[in-house]
């Protein structure tokens, strides 16, 4: 636990990625393999199912530190991090633990699964008493699973690759899919030269996704349009459909195995040839066109997929790419070959009304023609274009150069700041999370929440405004004087009976602080309603 607490502190103390990778590499090289496996699993966001409710943890911490509930609440608002609040409030540490990370997880945390509350409390309190303040903090992070230490999967991959002397792409692939954090797994992970196809005991393993950057500069800079494949940019769930050993798997980009959420795709998998991996987008789809994304969310939210929801919100997969064919990894082959094989394969198995279709190519002879076609995007319910360089391999992660996304301009409205509450992590005890209102019959109705888009300096100014202009407090939430106007940008808009304004927007963020506008200049609900798609389209019911 000492080494892990030190690693956590080292990662937390720098924003430089090279220093983070160095800290990870040093840690992985000096701890037992089982510790390394657990640390890697936690840092890339794979953690055991949460065993302890926050409410209980807070209660035990409160008892141990001898303060009242309300004071714990005040402290939490100031710190903005639950694990840290507890570590700061516990009585001063009397000792420090020399036991390794895997002991604490395997022998102390996981057995709590079958324990009753009293046993859980006793075990946890005794753990806290065995640890110093840093260790308590790292331990609380493990228990609550909210790491927020600025380590992305790609940094972990770089460190593991450095430890094993391996190529990062190989490590990336080995870290996909279903695996357990054990000493044996770690040893395999960092051993060079093992043949991937035979070593890969896990038949379900997906490939790392290749992601696009937003287009920078002007479109002409991409050169000859004939060297590019253009597709519509669909708004769904990016996924891989995999068929191996007679079984079908659907993985989301978040590396969640979602096969049972999409029976349509599972049924379709049976028609696929053995040993294929298709990259595509899962979309809610009816009558030859996509439904609103919220419909898909509604379906995913259901515990049981009854016949009603299946017929209301059927899904399809729009296939972008073919990553594996006849059991062979073909990601290094040029895009036009992969695309041809994909089309050929789907022709054989998928009739035109099938749940699997090839992402259509957008034809244009010049960039000018293509730009003109961007106008069609909203009517087609897509977000814009995907531009892919012919001849490019299927890469790992987000890379510049071969794939670009070109999105249509977002919607935008001017709205008034009406509520603010403190953020978390590095924004703790700064007012950074805002609710905005628009005018409706002389009153401001809450319309959207937004957290991003301001510079640090602007955040400081808004924070100072909130403190000086609070008109009412509801717990951590402040109602403020209606004065500041912001231009909000968002991607989609639809009717929603669950929102007080009757409208829900997708990806709202602050595009600009309109210091030139007064509250009364902000938009009205009526003008925003005019942005809604005509008819009932996009409605959630």
How many Å separate Cα 422 from the centre of its chain?
22
Min dist. Cβ of residue 150 to another protein (A): 9
Phi/psi at 64 (nearest 5 deg)? -70, -35
Size of the site for another protein (CB under 8 A): 33
Residue with smaller CB distance to another protein, 6 or 178: 6
Among 426, 443, 500, 518, binds another protein (CB under 8 A): 426
Tally of CB atoms within 10 A around 509: 16
SS3 label, residue 174: helix
Tally of CB atoms within 10 A around 523: 19
Q: Does 429 bind another protein (CB under 8 A)?
A: yes
Among 460, 521, 526, 537, binds another protein (CB under 8 A): 460
Tally of CB atoms within 10 A around 115: 13
Residue with smaller CB distance to another protein, 289 or 464: 464
Q: 74 is written with which tokens? A: 């005040």
Q: Does 155 bind another protein (CB under 8 A)?
A: no
Among 117, 348, 456, 526, binds another protein (CB under 8 A): 456
Phi/psi at 357 (nearest 5 deg)? -135, 155
Please state, in angstroms and rounded to a whole number, the distance separating the CA atoms of residues 529 and 391. 45
Min dist. Cβ of residue 123 to another protein (A): 24
Provide the mask over 367-406, with x wherever binding to another protein is found by CB under 8 A and - wherever it is not. Answer: ----------------------------------------
- Positions in 11-70 near another protein (CB under 8 A): 12-15, 65, 67-68, 70
Please state, in angstroms and rounded to a whole number, the distance separating the CA atoms of residues 295 and 6. 45
Q: Does 425 bind another protein (CB under 8 A)?
A: yes
Among 6, 22, 64, 74, binds another protein (CB under 8 A): 74
Min dist. Cβ of residue 36 to another protein (A): 24
Report yes or no: 266 and 259 within 8 Å, Cβ to Cβ.
Answer: yes
Q: Does 283 bind another protein (CB under 8 A)?
A: no
Give me the half-sphere count of Cα atoms (radius 13 Å) on the Cβ side of residue 148: 15
Residue with smaller CB distance to another protein, 146 or 329: 146
DSSP-assigned letter for residue 430: S
Min dist. Cβ of residue 80 to another protein (A): 5
Among 463, 504, 510, 538, binds another protein (CB under 8 A): 463
Please state, in angstroms and rounded to a whole number, the distance separating the CA atoms of residues 64 and 80. 20
Report yes or no: 159 and 11 within 8 Å, Cβ to Cβ.
Answer: no
Contacts of 204 (CB under 8 A, 6+ apart): 177, 178, 242, 244, 247, 249, 251, 257
Please state, in angstroms and rounded to a whole number, the distance separating the CA atoms of residues 170 and 192. 9
Among 39, 57, 89, 283, binds another protein (CB under 8 A): 89
Residue with smaller CB distance to another protein, 59 or 539: 59
Among 3, 51, 88, 258, binds another protein (CB under 8 A): 88
Residues near another protein, by CB under 8 A: 12-15, 65, 67-68, 70-71, 74-75, 78-81, 84-85, 88-89, 92, 424-430, 456, 460, 463-464, 467-468
């Amino acid at each position: 636990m000492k080494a892990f607490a030190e690693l956590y502190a080292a990662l937390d103390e720098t924003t430089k990625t090279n220093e983070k990778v160095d800290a990870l590499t040093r840690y992985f090289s000096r701890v037992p393999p089982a510790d390394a496996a657990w640390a890697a699993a936690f840092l890339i966001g794979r953690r055991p199912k949460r065993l302890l409710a926050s409410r209980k943890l807070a209660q035990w911490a409160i008892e141990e530190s001898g303060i009242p509930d309300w004071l714990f609440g005040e402290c939490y608002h100031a710190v903005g991090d639950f694990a840290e609040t507890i570590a700061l409030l516990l009585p001063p540490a009397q000792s420090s633990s020399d036991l390794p990370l895997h002991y604490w997880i395997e022998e102390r945390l996981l057995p709590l699964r079958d324990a009753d509350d009293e046993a859980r409390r006793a075990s946890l309190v005794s753990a806290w008493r065995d640890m110093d303040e840093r260790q308590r903090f790292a331990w609380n992070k493990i228990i609550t699973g909210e790491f927020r230490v600025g380590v992305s999967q790609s940094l972990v991959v770089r460190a593991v690759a450095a430890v094993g002397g391996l190529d990062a792409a190989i490590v990336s692939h080995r870290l996909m899919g279903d695996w357990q954090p054990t000493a044996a797994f770690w040893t395999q992970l960092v051993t060079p030269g093992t043949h991937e196809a035979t070593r890969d005991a896990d038949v379900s393993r997906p490939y790392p996704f290749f992601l696009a950057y937003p287009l920078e500069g002007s479109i002409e800079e991409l050169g000859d349009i004939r060297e590019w494949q253009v597709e519509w940019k669909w708004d769904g769930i990016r996924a891989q459909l995999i068929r191996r050993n007679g079984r079908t798997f659907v993985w989301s980009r978040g590396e969640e195995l979602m096969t049972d959420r999409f029976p349509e795709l599972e049924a379709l998998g049976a028609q696929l040839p053995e040993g294929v991996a298709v990259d595509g987008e899962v979309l809610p789809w009816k009558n030859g066109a996509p439904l609103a994304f919220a419909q898909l969310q509604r379906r995913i939210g259901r515990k049981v997929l009854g016949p009603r929801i299946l017929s209301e919100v059927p899904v399809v997969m729009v296939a972008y790419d073919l990553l594996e064919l006849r059991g062979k990894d073909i990601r290094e082959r040029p895009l036009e070959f992969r695309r041809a094989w994909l089309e050929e394969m789907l022709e054989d198995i998928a009739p035109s009304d099938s749940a699997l279709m090839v992402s259509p190519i957008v034809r244009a002879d010049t960039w000018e023609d293509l730009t003109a076609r961007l106008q069609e995007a909203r009517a087609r319910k897509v977000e814009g274009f995907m531009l892919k360089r012919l001849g490019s391999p299927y890469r790992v992660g987000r890379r510049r150069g071969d794939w670009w996304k070109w999105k249509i301009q977002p919607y935008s409205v001017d709205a008034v700041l009406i509520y603010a509450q403190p953020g978390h992590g590095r924004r703790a005890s700064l007012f950074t999370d805002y609710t905005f209102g628009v005018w409706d019959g002389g009153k401001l109705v809450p319309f959207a929440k937004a957290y991003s888009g301001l510079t640090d300096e602007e955040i400081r100014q808004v924070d100072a405004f909130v403190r000086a202009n609070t008109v009412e407090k509801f717990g951590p939430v402040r109602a403020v004087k209606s004065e500041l106007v912001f231009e909000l940008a968002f991607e989609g808009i639809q009717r929603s009976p669950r929102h007080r304004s009757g409208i829900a927007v997708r990806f709202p963020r602050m595009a600009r602080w309109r210091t030139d506008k007064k509250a009364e200049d902000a938009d009205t609900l009526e003008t925003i309603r005019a942005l809604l798609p005509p008819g009932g389209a996009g409605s959630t019911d």
